[in-house]
Amino acid sequence: MYLPYPSSLDPGLTLYADFDIPEQKAHLHLNLHGWHGCVKTQHRDNVEAVRGQANEWFFIRPEMRGRGDSNGKPDCNGYELQDAIDAVEYAKQHFANKILEPDKVYLSGGSGGGGNVLALLGKFPDYFCRAHADCGIYDYAAWYKGDTKGEFRDEMEGKGWIGGNPDTNAEAYQSRSSITTVCNIQTPTILFHGENDIRVPAEQARCLMDEVRRQQKCALVHYFELPNCGGRDHWTDITPELMAFRESTASAFMALPSPAIRMPRSGVLTVAGYLVTKDFNVHLESVDNVAQLRYDLDKNIFELSKPGTIIKTSK
């Protein structure tokens, strides 16, 4: 069911999503489309979600702002991520009788949507209970520099999906890249990437996993690089056996017991533009800024390395 829903950030913005309402109650599953893709139209950048068992999921597929029928300007891993959260909250309000355990939300996406997955886990670290990303973009500065054909630079720079380039606007590219917020990840996550992917090189995932190891998040983030596949399309030359491996492994991973996430009572987090948890929100002066936050909920300590607004939302 393709429906409009409101933005929590901008009353003048009308957003759209496909709400795939199940016959019986099912768990919410937010699935994100690719960089050039949209929900209404098939595109090579849209990586199909692993569906699992019949009626296992209540899929929500939002149109990122400026795509499909959603208005507004595309905003790579900025406030478009809050738009996706708004779609889930709309479903919770309007389709409550079709939702199992509304405090448990699952997440998936591929290509640009895969980049959105990891960025969401960095900006909303206790919202999702389990996640799956395919062929994701995790470092937009590196992706920009590797895009020698200019297939994606025009949107990042000229059309202002980020604005500028990694030399003129370095912090904005850092803020939009999930490699910046690996330290925030609390959600069990599985990643797949084709070894020979041209449009989103596997080096994106390899560098991300280097940071995962540095941040000691290996117990949460699991990576599978699929050999001898990928090209101008993400799964070029993939064998039926490898595709079956991806589907079965991802399905089994997403089906594991997944309690709702709670943040540690204290710690240090990276704020990439904004950070939203069940206990507090942080909004920097610009979505393009990056700062460090030291917090202690029991002592009511919040120390931010750059100007911003901190709102404590619960005890």
Residue 48 lies in a domain: yes
Is-above-0.75 flag for pTM?
Answer: yes
Residue 89 lies in a domain: yes
Residue 274 lies in a domain: yes
Q: Are residues 306 and 190 in the same domain?
A: no
Q: Are residues 224 and 278 in the same domain?
A: no
Residue 156 lies in a domain: no
If you average pLDDT over residues 160-175, what whole number do you get? 96
- At residue 167, does pLDDT exceed 60? yes
Residue 32 lies in a domain: yes
If you average pLDDT over residues 188-212, what whole number do you get? 97
Domain that holds residue 38: 2-139+177-261
Alpha-carbon separation of residue 4 from 19, 41, 98, 191, 304 (angstroms): 10, 17, 19, 31, 36
CATH of the domain at 181: 3.40.50.1820
Q: Are residues 193 and 306 in the same domain?
A: no
- Helices and strands (H, E) in the chain, number of each type: 7, 14
pLDDT in the model for residue 50: 77
Q: Are residues 230 and 248 in the same domain?
A: yes
Q: Are residues 237 and 106 in the same domain?
A: yes
275-308 confidence digits (pLDDT tens): 999 999 999 999 999 999 999 999 999 999 999 9
Q: Vertex 76, ends 70 and 77: CA angle to 5°?
A: 105
Q: Are residues 189 and 308 in the same domain?
A: no
Residue 161 lies in a domain: no
24-52 confidence digits (pLDDT tens): 999 999 999 988 888 977 766 677 777 76
Give the other-Cβ count within 10 Å of 76's Cβ: 26
Q: Are residues 208 and 286 in the same domain?
A: no
Q: Are residues 116 and 184 in the same domain?
A: yes
Q: Are residues 311 and 183 in the same domain?
A: no
- Predicted confidence band at 79 (pLDDT cuts at 50, 70, 90)? very high
Q: Are residues 19 and 111 in the same domain?
A: yes
pLDDT in the model for residue 36: 83
- At residue 183, does pLDDT exceed 70? yes
If you average pLDDT over residues 195-201, what whole number do you get? 95
Q: Which of 246, 261, 276 is the last residue of a domain?
A: 261
Bridge partners, 1 (sequence order)? none
If you average pLDDT over residues 172-188, what whole number do you get? 98
Q: Are residues 186 and 297 in the same domain?
A: no
Residue 40 lies in a domain: yes
Percent residues over pLDDT 70 in the chain: 97
Q: Are residues 134 and 205 in the same domain?
A: yes
CA–CA gap between residue 126 and residue 66 (Å, rounded): 27
Q: Which of 222, 238, 261 is the last residue of a domain?
A: 261
Exposure string over 106-143, b if 16+ CB within 10 A, otherwise e: bbbbbbbbbbbbbbbbbbbbbbbbbbbbbbbbbbbbbb
CA–CA gap between residue 289 and residue 202 (Å, rounded): 27
If you average pLDDT over residues 148-176, what whole number do you get? 93
- Predicted confidence band at 100 (pLDDT cuts at 50, 70, 90)? very high
Number of domains in the chain: 2
- Predicted confidence band at 136 (pLDDT cuts at 50, 70, 90)? very high
Residue 169 lies in a domain: no
